[in-house]
Amino acid sequence: MWKLINTIAVGGLENIGFDSGDRLVVLSSQGIGIFDCLTGERIFRDRESSWEDFDPVSATVPGMDVLSGSLIRVCGLDEPDFLHKETTDGWMLECIGPVPDDAPFEKYLVHKIFLTHKEGQYRELVDKDGPCELRAYGFSPTGNTLVVALSCDLTIWSRVH
């Protein structure tokens, strides 16, 4: 099963990208952060960086700290969302919207992101936008974590082992 690990406020979140595992690079107007999506912890933060090494042609940024020597492809505000929407064992993310929000805010339209399984016996709302704009969402390359990145926060889910 899946468990909500953490929701982190990230002012001005613009782009995200996974390494080859479950670590996520977050580019924001506040700098660069790296998160371990299995634990939900931020493991690196550079507030001074305006991510000057971002390559808009390849949509990549060089890895820092624990990701030094790697190149991370990112998506969100600057590039279309390419993150995996399905795992090899049948878990899927589905974005529905814009649809009316839940009461008492039904006059506002939102995008809702659901976690489902191909066998159809499971469906759970993992996040929705609203006052914050949806940037990207998807599974890590391992399929063990999923993230939803909005312009103001990052939500991390992981499989319960």
Q: Which residue has the higher pLDDT, 56 or 116?
A: 116
Please determine, for residue 158, whether its predicted confidence score (pLDDT) is greater than 80.
Answer: yes
The arithmetic mean of pLDDT across residues 102-131, rounded, is 93
Q: How far apart are CA 70 and CA 57, in angstroms?
A: 17
The arithmetic mean of pLDDT across residues 62-80, rounded, is 92
Could you read off the pLDDT of 15-60 as tens digits, one per residue?
999 999 999 999 999 899 999 999 999 999 988 877 788 898 999 9
Look up the pTM and report it.
0.93
pLDDT at position 161, please? Answer: 61
The answer to whether 143 and 89 are in contact (CB under 8 A) is: yes
Mention every residue, 6+ apart, whose C-beta is less than 8 A from residue 21.
140, 141, 142
Query: How far apart are the two ends of the chain, measured CA to CA in Å?
Result: 8
Structurally, the chain folds into a number of domains equal to 1
Q: How far apart are CA 145 and CA 68, in angstroms?
A: 22
**Structural domain span for residue 100:** 2-159
For residues 78, 71, 40, 81, the Cα torsion angle rounded to the nearest 10 degrees is 30
